[in-house]
Amino acid sequence: MYGEWPVTEQQHAPEPGLENLLSEERRFPPPPDLAAHANATSDLYAWANADRPAFWAEQARTLLTWSTPFSTGLDWSNPPFATWFADGELNAAYNAVDRHVEAGLGDRVAIHFEGEPGDTRTLTYADLQREVSRAANALTALGVGTGDRVAVYLPMIPEAVITMLACARIGAPHSVVFGGFSAEALYSRILDAEAKVVVTADGGYRRGAPAALKPAVDEALAKGPTTVGHVLVVRRTGQDTAWTQGRDVWWHDVVDTASDQHTPVPVNAEHPLFILYTSGTTGKPKGILHTTGGYLTQAAFTHLNVFDLKPETDVYWCTADVGWITGHSYVAYGPLVNGATQVIYEGTPDTPDRGRWWSIIEKYKVSILYTAPTAIRSCMKWGEQWPAAHDLSSLRVLGSVGEPINPEAWIWYRSTIGGDRAPIVDTWWQTETGAIMISPLPGVTTTKPGSAQVPLPGIAADVIDDETHSVPNGSGGYLVITEPWPSMLRGIWGDPDRYVDTYWSRFKGIYFAGDGAKKDEDGDIWLLGRVDDVMNVSGHRLSTTEIESALVSHEWVAEAAVVGASDETTGQAVVAFVILRGDAAGAALPADEVAAQLRAHVAKAIGPIAKPRQILVVPELPKTRSGKIMRRLLRDVAEHRVVGDATTLADSSVMDLIAAGLAAPKA
Ligand code: PRX
């Protein structure tokens, strides 16, 4: 599984001509005015290092409101199963909403919602309290109790956040499934979590048109028996929607009419807050489990300090969808727990034109922007004229997440969007880590284009070699976390063994993140990409094995191998190599047609995000004598490089065959 290190050094080497961007002069000290008033100062590191659990306990006490204060901090007596603050009780929705209203901040805007067609909604904290209470009452009436799971399959509309908080309010873990996943993917997630209710919408707006969502829920629930009793449907687009009497209920019928009074249910700090499925190296997606107290502590701490949030004056915007962990920690929980005002935007950055994001920033005077390198690279491609047409002077902190940011995009982000003024925080973390782990602090760190740089105060990360030794500065290895942290995953839903195997067995007792990294001469960390069979496409995690399984499930396909090839915009792109069955109908079709059909098949099995950019029909796949596919060689082909050392292949002529096949004119 980890056989191909060193992997991606080549892919992530700086573009030619960029050496100057990486030189000593390209260091950006924190802006003095920001540093003078920053939430986080450099002494945080020493404080945290002196006693990490005590540091986090202090954060938990100051950042959250507990209905029963905790007396225990970290319990690491049964590694790798950690608990934090385990004898305390609290409620996540109370912390995100009610306590701000009680503190007299009910009129503060919590959410500026901007729909893709241009419709808007403003929700104050008082509005949010009423909406979340109604939804909590409605879910209870639909039979959801504390501990029951609720699947959420919604577009980026306020109801997505309201539903998550309503679940938290009654102690029902939510399992949000990204709207871009297929009915089949939704079905498997509903089954695995044994969800009692699915919350969805008739559809959402995307690229200027309504895109249906509810039909995928209907299709998922028709696949076989499930534990789902009700489907709660938000009317967003007004599209015609098939209806199953007795099962389906409209949001406006049951939520809007419910009482807006509701008492949040206090839960134990270790009560499950949510499950979020993510792709791994093998088999089906894993349900990553996060609990309440530790997760909220680190989500709030990082949101406050990494973005230097001033809740009274800042307008924060994270462009992530709630279907991903970034949307959980930095849309639903972190900002609201901190009492921030945030923007939520439903649609794509290029609708109605490529200036949409910049017009939103100008309109709401966004001061903190958190987005992904893929988006930045797309905007770069579209040209400076789009941001130049808008006043972006409100921006004061810029965040990046999801994949390594290449120095060229970093510099563009800083100068074109940030006016050479706003510091960039390149934040490294994962679904599993729950919150940001490695990042500059905007008032402290002198930033370097392309590097996430330093573990946050309270986080112990290192880069190690195969023998578990910390590598010296200037060398590369595996990124690991060496001490437990509050927002760490508590397990894989229903599969404790897989949790231990996946994260804690490569290096005994150490959390291995799956990423390669190097330390530069100053000891700063540079992420180099995954060292396992996980791809990162537009900041989204995709498993090579999952896509291979989807391809092989098609009747034409005998064998498939998938690689992530570097892509200028999306970071990596999915490239698939397939061998067709000799007798398959597809074998007689032109290669383009075969590829089109197989791409559609993958979209149906997993979702459009998993569709290969390219599918190549080949006569053979390169395998070692033990039968392992050598993806490194396929990556060479996909990236149009000279094929590397093929001497360990069982049949070394295979690469010639593949090359010849690809060179041959298409039928
Ligand atoms: O490879 C790393 C990459 O994204 C992976 C985690 O993906 P996911 O769980 O979907 O969470 C994405 C959002 C937190 C990591 O293993 N990654 C994430 N952030 C960065 C990154 N790679 C380089 N630099 C980052 N800032």
Mean per-residue pLDDT for 632-655? 84
Mean per-residue pLDDT for 637-653? 82
Mean per-residue pLDDT for 80-91? 98
Amino acid occupying residue 523 = G
Amino acid occupying residue 367 = S
Looking at residue 123, what DSSP letter applies?
E
With a 6 Å cutoff on the Cβ, whether 373 touches ligand 1 is no
* Chain centre distance of CA 241: 30
340 has a pLDDT exceeding 60: yes
12 has a pLDDT exceeding 70: no
* Residue 661 pLDDT class (50, 70, 90 cuts): low
Is 304 strand, coil or helix? helix
Distance of CA 540 from the midpoint of ligand 1 (Å): 8
With a 6 Å cutoff on the Cβ, whether 426 touches ligand 1 is yes
* Residue 630 pLDDT class (50, 70, 90 cuts): confident
* Residue 479 pLDDT class (50, 70, 90 cuts): very high
Q: 111-136, pLDDT tens digit by residue? A: 999 999 999 999 999 999 999 999 99
Mean per-residue pLDDT for 304-330? 98
Mean per-residue pLDDT for 591-607? 95
pLDDT of residue 55: 98
Listed range (2-6, 53-57, 645-649) with the worst mean pLDDT: 2-6
The residue contributing the CA closest to ligand 1 atom 8 is: 430
Parse the chain into domains and list their residue ranges: 538-662
The residue contributing the CA closest to ligand 1 atom 10 is: 541
Distance of CA 515 from the midpoint of ligand 1 (Å): 9
Ligand 1 pocket test, pick from 178, 536, 542 with the greatest ligand atom count within 8 Å of Cβ, gives: 536
Distance of CA 536 from the midpoint of ligand 1 (Å): 8
CA distance 558 to 598: 13
Residue with tokens 């973390």: 429
CA distances from 190 to 86, 112, 176, 419 (A): 28, 31, 10, 45
Mean per-residue pLDDT for 433-451? 98
In ligand 1, the atom with minimum distance to the C-alpha of 541 is 10
155 has a pLDDT exceeding 60: yes
Looking at residue 282, what DSSP letter applies?
S
* Structural tokens at position 234: 């938000």
The residue contributing the CA closest to ligand 1 atom 22 is: 403
Please provide the DSSP assignment of 557-616 as one string: EEEEEEEEEEETTTEEEEEEEEEE-TT-GGGGS-HHHHHHHHHHHHHHHT-GGG--SEEE
Please provide the DSSP assignment of 223-237 as one string: SS--S--EEEEE-SS
Does 3.30.300.30 match the CATH number of domain 538-662? yes
Distance of CA 427 from the midpoint of ligand 1 (Å): 8
Distance of CA 265 from the midpoint of ligand 1 (Å): 33
Ligand 1 pocket test, pick from 331, 400, 430 with the greatest ligand atom count within 8 Å of Cβ, gives: 430
pLDDT of residue 317: 98
Q: 204-233, pLDDT tens digit by residue? A: 999 999 999 999 999 999 999 999 999 999
Mean per-residue pLDDT for 470-481? 97
Task: Indicate the pairing of strand 491-492 with strand 286-291.
Answer: antiparallel
295 has a pLDDT exceeding 70: yes
Distance of CA 531 from the midpoint of ligand 1 (Å): 12
Task: Indicate the pairing of strand 195-201 with strand 149-153.
Answer: parallel
Per the prediction, the chain carries an average pLDDT of 93
Ligand 1 pocket test, pick from 7, 370, 527 with the greatest ligand atom count within 8 Å of Cβ, gives: 527
* Residue 189 pLDDT class (50, 70, 90 cuts): very high
* Residue 13 pLDDT class (50, 70, 90 cuts): very low
CA distance 235 to 202: 6
Mean per-residue pLDDT for 418-429? 98
pLDDT of residue 662: 65
With a 6 Å cutoff on the Cβ, whether 344 touches ligand 1 is no
E strand or H helix that includes residue 209: strand 209-212
Task: Indicate the pairing of strand 525-530 with strand 511-519.
Answer: antiparallel
pLDDT of residue 582: 86
Beta carbons within 10 angstroms of residue 509's beta carbon: 10
372 contacts: CB under 8 Å, gap ≥ 6: 319, 320, 400, 401, 402, 403, 538, 539
Distance of CA 570 from the midpoint of ligand 1 (Å): 13
323 has a pLDDT exceeding 60: yes
The residue contributing the CA closest to ligand 1 atom 4 is: 402
Is 667 strand, coil or helix? coil
With a 6 Å cutoff on the Cβ, whether 514 touches ligand 1 is yes
Considering only residues 533 and 267, tell me which one the structure prediction assigns the higher pLDDT.
Answer: 267
Listed range (321-330, 335-344, 582-591) with the worst mean pLDDT: 582-591
631 has a pLDDT exceeding 90: no
Distance of CA 141 from the midpoint of ligand 1 (Å): 38
The residue contributing the CA closest to ligand 1 atom 25 is: 428
pLDDT of residue 2: 37
With a 6 Å cutoff on the Cβ, whether 127 touches ligand 1 is no
Listed range (77-81, 249-253, 633-637) with the worst mean pLDDT: 633-637
The residue contributing the CA closest to ligand 1 atom 12 is: 402
With a 6 Å cutoff on the Cβ, whether 404 touches ligand 1 is yes
282 class by beta-carbon count within 10 Å (0-12 exposed, 13-18 middle, 19+ buried): middle
Distance of CA 456 from the midpoint of ligand 1 (Å): 16
The residue contributing the CA closest to ligand 1 atom 7 is: 430
* Residue 11 pLDDT class (50, 70, 90 cuts): very low
Distance of CA 380 from the midpoint of ligand 1 (Å): 21
